Structure 1
């Protein structure tokens, strides 16, 4: 009996039988016609002709039915019904043909009786092989045909027929074993095929998930960087003369969120920002998260400049709305850079770079607004590319140098040391500002090699300076966020033979934000080796007090943006006083950069700032000029001492 609970097996049985059963009916009709023709005139006409004709017609009807069913999909339930019907018909037809054949047996001669034996054996074997996918039907037909033959011929009194009957009896046992074994293999194959199909379906679902993940940001659900560039490439390829508008949005002030509120809060801010952006862009373009706190949007090439600016400003405005978390409220702002395709298309990378450069220019000025890439930006970008290329091809050992700016005590005017400032005189570009080539060195990944060359020059200069003078040297974010690089610099310092305690290593708050945990570990390692650590550009980064609290700095350098206007801006003056008081309370020194007038120096001295540097004291100078100045100062001091002694 078919297994009603196994739909896969039911459908497989029906499909297999739909090709085998028509063959069985065809064989039955052919053999029945052959037997009928040899017995006409010997047996009664109704037995020799009419009865086999009726059964043949029934077989032909069933043959045609199976032929039509092969082209029609069936359900497991329908397949079960058809298989059960096949079981019943197999028994009825086999019983009919076997009874008919045995009925003819008594009318023929030995040859005709032999034909009856042949008919029963062929019918039984045909039924077995054509119905093996439905073992219940195969067993029924085997039992009926072989039983009729064995019983009929076993009692025929003919030795040949009796021997044949006995052979068929034993053969039927083998056929039953074959039927059962074959069906076990068949059902096992169906089960294996079903398992493989399930596995393939699971694999396809997994591939679909992977494909979706490959094109979507898992945190926010927006398109990711890969999807962003795929869409951008597609739009450029479909209409090169009307490239899309590309904008980039950066979350100003996001980096400290993880440090202050934790990564869960940072993830919430990113997801909420993504939801706001998605809501604003509905019907106007697509938005993607490109990485970190940077988002990008793509608008059709037919978008007007005003509409692009309005959407970019809407993105910036929505970021000013507070992000409510259980521990409080987070307030941010956003900056936007847009590449508007006024000059035709470029590659997707070029368009992205223009938007990124416009974003960088906006953030470097004030942030919180929209900046379009312009012809002026294009010139700056060309300059940046030229610098990047020259850095890659430059000979740093010959082209890099240091200049030294004095650091003076504001109370007394005593020289305590110098700050080493990097200079690059490129053989291709000529003198390049540190504001240009240091960021370029960080972009191109060669800043650590540059640091090593400049540190070697700085250590050599310290050997020529008096032992009481200190030297401040700047480290980049890559220098302090990579343990191996920091260890290499420490080895370089120790091998130089200079007193490490004379060295002030300066790091910026921006460097700390790149990887605070690694940076903190490197800072502690450098301090334990004897070097002093200064926090540079204080007040321009984020979470400054948090960094001061978590790291033990020896000096804090007040950024010149506060110093330059402290004599006329009360707010800047108040900030400087606060920093000076903070340093005194922590027992460390405060240093002011950018002192250009006597009035600024006086105001800083009155505010309690300890040390200062700037054009008021001296511009940065080459080592030879510095050493000459030190010698002259030592000579004047010696002369003054001699006069006093005389």
Structure 2
């Protein structure tokens, strides 16, 4: 039984080669119409030669059957040539082909043998040559399908042995030659099958590698999300197909991701990115494309959200999904994000403009507060235009001439005296007029000129402080780019020595946001400033990520409670409790505590009862010009004189 199976195996179609099956059907379908056409012509000529020698049932009936068979099979394969076949369909087609070929050539052999009993020696030679050339042509025509070619070849021994047994010498010699040539053709069937199978395997492998390369070129290797290239390709296609449909783009930037990398290592950061990608994918749905654009940035192409409220709600849902705690192997972490969204309504059908609008909305969201989502609007477009004008003016600005510092008092409410001043930047542009620090400082950071601006402002602030009594301090703000600059501490040391102001009188204020950008470099800078003898204050305390971690890992001497907690401290119990907690924390850690944004006497009273001593705000005095500070300190350092002074904001 095993021997019989081995013998019959070449006559069957192997079920485990779907790529081979599809390739065989496609190759066969291309030449099937020609094959069946030539076969029908040869049959018709043979029938015509036997019309005068055979009864009609041996001529017209076979011709009719061949006509039906060749026409239906030829049309069938013509249709297959235009279809996308699966491996399963191709497998069934090949099995049908084997059965059809075997039945057709056995029937043709029997019909030809019967025809040899009619006619004369010439018609017998015609029959002999008909079978010889038809079988050989069929074998080579079916060469792509070994099993079908071998099924065709099964008729060769029957036909050859028949003429060897009954034919004359010439016919026997022709039959012998036919058998020898057929044997060689059968061998070639095996050789060609191996070659064709190898080519199909190579083509399938090349197709697989091409598909894999295409996937790699368009996928993010870490998250398996589409990458930046795929995002823009999809956006371009979506814009082309978006006639009459809503289309929006969301750009997402993570907050607090770098500390995860710094604290837990890059594997933990990779796990966070994968989890964020999974959450965004489940949130966006099947009709939206979520991509990782690079680093901790993601992008989403949104379809189907028509109303602006729905787009804003989606942005808030993204922020909420990202903000959920993430469980890692070494602990639980939490990051946030800001989202900028823009739609076709404001951007037209230009994808570059759409991305530009979404990017500006993201920039605006990050400037507001963490965890916010902003949809680009006409109002934002006006702000962007203003920002562009500010940027152009900054490029052309003479900082020495146009920049100045104003000084806001820092008071000890319990002692009733002024203890220092915070230097605040002011810029008067020849083309724009007075520009607020909230407008020009973020732009200066964006175009990389804030460090140069910082040095000029610090020189001016130190020059002002040089005229003050020794007990009056100076607070000065450093940006994220300042504290990340490798040479900033050395430059500041040179400027302080040149000014003659004692480093002990100088406090440098940094925000939690600035520390997040590059914690290692920030720590190096702050350590160097601390070594000079300067004081370090953490500004806007309580509004950033992992606030307490900075307190114990950095050389912090003072905390400044953000004004957002002070505005409602007289009415809101929660705000009052937060302030009390921070004040107690400072006492425990032996840190100074400053409350900024004090605007009313009621706030002063509540803060004093909570134990706060150092305060700053418009209640005591708005920022003052340097000359006004000199005049004030020349008379007294008491708060009473400060409160009695004209409250003109500078």
Q: 2:545 aligns with which of 539, 542, 546?
A: 542
Q: 2:303 aligns with which of 299, 305, 313?
A: 299
Q: CA RMSD in A?
A: 5.6
Q: 1:389 to 1:298 in 2, by over 3 A?
A: farther
The residue that corresponds to 1:404 in the other structure is: 407
Q: Contact conserved, 2:144 with 2:196, CA < 8 A, in 1? A: no
| Equivalence map 1:61-460=2 (5 Å) | 69-75=139-145, 204-213=210-219, 218-219=222-223, 221=225, 223-238=226-241, 244-248=247-251, 262-263=268-269, 266-267=272-273, 269-278=275-284, 281-283=285-287, 285-291=288-294, 292=296, 294-300=298-304, 303-305=306-308, 307-308=310-311, 311-312=314-315, 314-315=317-318, 337-342=340-345, 345=348, 347-358=350-361, 372-460=375-463
Q: Contact conserved, 1:252 with 1:334, CA < 8 A, in 2? A: yes
Q: 1:341 to 1:459 in 2, by over 3 A?
A: same
Question: Helix, strand or coil: the match of 2:520?
Answer: helix
The residue that corresponds to 2:55 in the other structure is: none
Q: Contact conserved, 2:409 with 2:418, CA < 8 A, in 1? A: yes
Shift of 1:213: 1.9
Shift of 1:620: 2.0
The residue that corresponds to 1:123 in the other structure is: none
Question: Helix, strand or coil: the match of 1:618?
Answer: coil
The residue that corresponds to 2:49 in the other structure is: none
Shift of 1:461: 4.0
Shift of 1:433: 1.0
Q: 1:589 aligns with which of 576, 589, 592?
A: 592
Measured in 1, the distance between the counterparts of 2:635 and 2:372 equals 53
The residue that corresponds to 2:487 in the other structure is: 488
Q: Contact conserved, 1:235 with 1:243, CA < 8 A, in 2? A: no
The residue that corresponds to 2:523 in the other structure is: 520
Measured in 2, the distance between the counterparts of 1:433 and 1:457 equals 18
Measured in 2, the distance between the counterparts of 1:459 and 1:80 equals 99
Shift of 1:270: 0.9
The residue that corresponds to 1:566 in the other structure is: 569
Shift of 1:247: 3.9
Deviations 1:377-420 (A, max 9, x none): 33223222222332233333332222222323333234433222
Q: 1:634 to 1:338 in 2, by over 3 A?
A: closer
The residue that corresponds to 1:152 in the other structure is: none
Q: 1:525 to 1:535 in 2, by over 3 A?
A: same
Shift of 1:426: 1.7
Measured in 1, the distance between the counterparts of 2:550 and 2:624 equals 32
Q: 1:526 to 1:294 in 2, by over 3 A?
A: farther
Instruction: Return 5+ residue gaps in structure 1 as ranges.
Output: 12-53, 93-99, 101-126, 138-182, 184-188, 636-646
Shift of 1:598: 3.9
Shift of 1:468: 4.5
Q: 1:73 to 1:621 in 2, by over 3 A?
A: farther
Measured in 2, the distance between the counterparts of 1:305 and 1:568 equals 34
Measured in 2, the distance between the counterparts of 1:442 and 1:84 equals 85
Instruction: Return 5+ residue gaps in structure 2 as ranges.
Output: 1-9, 11-16, 25-123, 162-168, 170-180, 639-650
Shift of 1:75: 4.7
Q: Contact conserved, 2:218 with 2:227, CA < 8 A, in 1? A: no
Q: Contact conserved, 2:340 with 2:361, CA < 8 A, in 1? A: yes
Q: 1:477 aligns with which of 467, 470, 480?
A: 480
| Equivalence map 1:48-59=2 (5 Å) | none
Question: Helix, strand or coil: the match of 1:518?
Answer: helix
Which is worse superposed, 510-519 or 257-266? 257-266
Measured in 2, the distance between the counterparts of 1:563 and 1:398 equals 36
Measured in 2, the distance between the counterparts of 1:240 and 1:428 equals 43
Measured in 2, the distance between the counterparts of 1:300 and 1:572 equals 41
Question: Helix, strand or coil: the match of 1:471?
Answer: strand
The residue that corresponds to 1:96 in the other structure is: none
Shift of 1:545: 0.9
Shift of 1:544: 0.7
The residue that corresponds to 2:579 in the other structure is: 576
Deviations 1:560-611 (A, max 9, x none): 2223333443332332232222222222211222233344334434433343
Q: Contact conserved, 1:559 with 1:592, CA < 8 A, in 2? A: yes
Shift of 1:543: 1.3
Question: Helix, strand or coil: the match of 2:604?
Answer: helix
| Equivalence map 1:603-642=2 (5 Å) | 603-633=606-636
Higher Cα radius of gyration: 1
Deviations 1:212-244 (A, max 9, x none): 326xx73163x3343333333333344577662
Q: 1:515 to 1:315 in 2, by over 3 A?
A: same
The residue that corresponds to 2:42 in the other structure is: none
Q: Contact conserved, 2:142 with 2:149, CA < 8 A, in 1? A: no
